Structure 1
Amino acid sequence: MYVAVKGGERAIDNAHAWLAEERRGDPAVPDLSVAQIREQMALAVNRVMAEGSLYDPDLAALAIKQARGDLIEAIFLIRAYRTTLPRFGASHPVDTGAMACDRRVSATFKDAPGGQVLGPTFDYTHRLLDFKLAADGEAGQVAEAAPLQGPTPHIMGFLDREDLIQPEPAGAAIPPDLTREPLELPANRALRLQALTRADEGFTLGMAYSTQRGYARNHAFVAELRIGSVAVEMDIPELGFSIEIGEITLTECETVNQFQGSKTQPPQFTRGYGLVFGMSERKAISMALVDRALRWEELGEDNLGAPAQDAEFVLYHCDNIQATGFLEHIKLPHYVDFQSELELIRKLRREAAPLQEAAE
């Protein structure tokens, strides 16, 4: 029989108190400040901002501290907070061609105008533990390089000028706001990109890796990967013109893929695109690969049945907050549901018992 549980509120309060104690850890160890998390765990902060759809390093760092380092929980906190914020207007599309690049590399053109800038990257590290950090020392000090200033042309523009890459349509309609309206299929490319930019990094990486292993026939080159700050501008009705309201750091990736052509288009290259808050190059590259895989229908290519080509599969499963909510709800009380299942199994066993005895 189902019996109502008593004392639940008191147990929950105690669980919250214990959680706060566990979050703090040993009181003898200095408390971790929000500023320390923001400055020294920047990649985690960037992921929380990107998947939480809110650019605020201080709030993202606070969420990481509150969530005890559980980034999905921190993303959940940021999304929940975001829903409480009023919206005063919309900014102009950012001009990534005017990005002040801290990092800009290309795997397709060695001598790119403006040069290649390695920037802060793990690419050439030895992946060996640095025990100086455990001793509260610094591994090494180097002079900070100045970012590339002024317009830095996109490398894809060189292919554009030779008409070797599929042109992107201009003046596309503004897509629905995925943070305010639920996803609906079929989704155009702009809406798919919006979903991918806030998708779970691990899921997006797995989908991208599957395309490289042959599930979608999607061999890509990174035409350009750039990380830097861009200005955000917004129209002010009272002034009658737009002003710069701040700067944000973005990671942008453009991939180039072969395209065999169709009845109406000659053989050429096509693009994959990724744009993410902060320094998140793994996510941006993954996003670009998955974006290209999802374009099979609009390009008139064959659907090979690959998971990364299935828009419904990708877009409905890439959101870690939705996935976490559905997954973790099964650990909450389901006493009534289980009792009905239990009674059904008992009834079926009683009905089956005479048949089993007869068979023996």
Structure 2
Amino acid sequence: MYVAVKGGEAAIANAHRLLADRRRGDRSLPAISIEQIVAQLGLAVDRVMAEASLYDRGLAALAVRQARGDMIEAIFILRAYRTTLPRFGSSVPVDTAEMKIERRVSATYKDLPGGQLLGPTFDYTHRLLDPCLLTDEGVDAPAEKPPLEEPVMRVSDILSGEGLIEDDGVLPQDHVAGDLTREPLEFPLERDLRLQALARGDEGFLLSLAYSTQRGYGRTHPFVGEVRIGEVEVEFDLPELGFAVSLGRIQVTECQMINQFQGSAKSPPQFTRGYGLVFGQSERKAMAMSLVDRALRAEEFGEDIVAPAQDEEFVISHSDNVQATGFVEHLKLPHYVDFQAELDLVRRMRAEYEQKQKTGSGDLREAAE
């Protein structure tokens, strides 16, 4: 125990009270409600859900409010809460082909079966502050655009029909999906575990890695095959009933990134896939995830591993913002004993250095005489 820390309980309690006061802010203004955060800060809520691995908008909004808008702190809070929840089992794999699509865009085909559906996006907005939003006067009535109810063909299905893209892959019937929240990671990882880690990885970190692959630090030449945002049904298999029952619908963002592949001795020239799937509307994250996923498949395609984004252990070990935050922010905790030891060491080394300098100067004077 650090002696200097003793007696700090009162100071910590005061810090908590000060935090609560700053969180509440100006008492003349109404307190922001959980419902307001869910409805009006939806993208922040979705990021917290995705990186905390817990789909619950109300709890994610509570974490955002508690953290005063600090996304990583909110993710930390929600992930800690997640560890207290019982685990009943694994759901049936969701079928994103049956997605009730709210937004769907492709950079590869102008005319898609089912069409392009822009949905709610910043893509075509001017990045200028809008003073109309200082009040509700500038808010237009909602545009009525129902989601696509019928399943539509994927871009990858079009290419697959011509044999121009790698197979989607089929898992063995007895395959049990890994769970990185319960089992320590052992490298190399199976792709399902790797995708789990990327799905809850820090958006900014993955975005930087994805950007690096486009700047030449990795062998990618990507096209957005398709980005989909919409609702999918989650089902749970009950052995006593003999069939799966629906637990409800959740919103997800899916991205399939298409990359050129020149082929090898075992595979013909074809397109390869990078995949991203994230809770909520998290388009940037899904795209970055799919770019990094493809980069991490370098060894699978016999490509040289020459860039950070292709190094699985580097990427996965540093992608978790909760672990990163804990390791960086623990430096704020008392390290008095460690520092005093290093301070003493540096003083002794400095004294030895100065003594050698004096001795060396004396030798030079004697030689000159």
TM range (shorter): over 0.9
CA distance in 1, matches of 2:239, 2:189: 32
CA distance in 2, matches of 1:259, 1:51: 31
Q: Does 1:182 align with 2:196?
A: no
CA distance in 2, matches of 1:4, 1:56: 41
CA distance in 1, matches of 2:225, 2:3: 63
In structure 2, the partner of 1:310 is 311
Gaps of 5+ in 1: none
In structure 2, the partner of 1:57 is 57
In structure 2, the partner of 1:75 is 75
Q: Secondary structure at the match of 2:294?
A: helix
CA distance in 2, matches of 1:42, 1:135: 19
- 1:6 deviates by 3.3
- 1:168 deviates by 2.6
Change (3 A) 1:290 1:132: same
- The percent of aligned pairs where both chains have the same amino acid is 63
In structure 2, the partner of 1:351 is 352
Which deviates further from its counterpart, 71-80 or 135-144?
A: 135-144
Q: Secondary structure at the match of 1:298?
A: helix
- 1:191 deviates by 1.4
- 1:355 deviates by 2.1
Which deviates further from its counterpart, 32-41 or 187-196?
A: 187-196
- 1:235 deviates by 1.4
Q: Which amino acid aligns with 2:301?
A: L
CA distance in 1, matches of 2:231, 2:10: 49
Does the CA contact (< 8 Å) of 1:105 and 1:225 recur in 2? yes
CA distance in 2, matches of 1:169, 1:271: 11
CA deviation profile, 1:88-109 (whole Å, cap 9, x unmatched) = 1211000101101000111111
CA distance in 2, matches of 1:71, 1:14: 24
- 1:301 deviates by 1.7
In structure 2, the partner of 1:29 is 29
CA distance in 2, matches of 1:340, 1:321: 30
In structure 2, the partner of 1:341 is 342
Q: Which amino acid aligns with 1:64?
A: V
Q: Which amino acid aligns with 1:22?
A: R
CA distance in 2, matches of 1:108, 1:4: 63
Q: Secondary structure at the match of 1:340?
A: helix
In structure 2, the partner of 1:259 is 261
Between structure 1 and structure 2, the one with the greater Rg is 2
CA distance in 2, matches of 1:100, 1:138: 30
- 1:3 deviates by 5.0
Does the CA contact (< 8 Å) of 1:130 and 1:139 recur in 2? no
Which deviates further from its counterpart, 169-178 or 72-81?
A: 169-178
Q: Secondary structure at the match of 1:152?
A: coil
CA distance in 2, matches of 1:165, 1:60: 38
Q: Which amino acid aligns with 2:213?
A: T
In structure 2, the partner of 1:154 is 154
Q: Secondary structure at the match of 2:309?
A: helix
In structure 2, the partner of 1:326 is 327
- 1:321 deviates by 0.5
- RMSD over equivalenced CA pairs, Å: 1.3
Q: Secondary structure at the match of 2:329?
A: helix
Trace 1:204-283 onto structure 2 (pairs within 5 A). 204-283=206-285
Q: Does 1:195 align with 2:214?
A: no
Does the CA contact (< 8 Å) of 1:45 and 1:64 recur in 2? yes
CA distance in 1, matches of 2:236, 2:254: 21
Q: How many residues align?
A: 358
Q: Secondary structure at the match of 2:342?
A: helix
* TM-score normalised per structure 1: 0.96
In structure 2, the partner of 1:66 is 66
In structure 1, the partner of 2:364 is none
CA distance in 2, matches of 1:225, 1:296: 23
Q: Secondary structure at the match of 1:175?
A: coil
Does the CA contact (< 8 Å) of 1:251 and 1:284 recur in 2? yes
Which deviates further from its counterpart, 170-179 or 330-339?
A: 170-179
CA distance in 2, matches of 1:138, 1:246: 35
CA distance in 2, matches of 1:89, 1:205: 32
In structure 1, the partner of 2:12 is 12
- 1:144 deviates by 2.3
- 1:188 deviates by 2.0
CA distance in 2, matches of 1:115, 1:21: 51
- 1:143 deviates by 2.3
In structure 1, the partner of 2:367 is none
In structure 1, the partner of 2:365 is none
- 1:63 deviates by 0.1
In structure 1, the partner of 2:291 is 289
- 1:112 deviates by 1.0
Which deviates further from its counterpart, 265-274 or 346-355?
A: 346-355
Q: Which amino acid aligns with 2:224?
A: V
Gaps of 5+ in 2: 362-369
CA distance in 2, matches of 1:158, 1:4: 67
Q: Secondary structure at the match of 1:224?
A: strand
- 1:307 deviates by 1.0
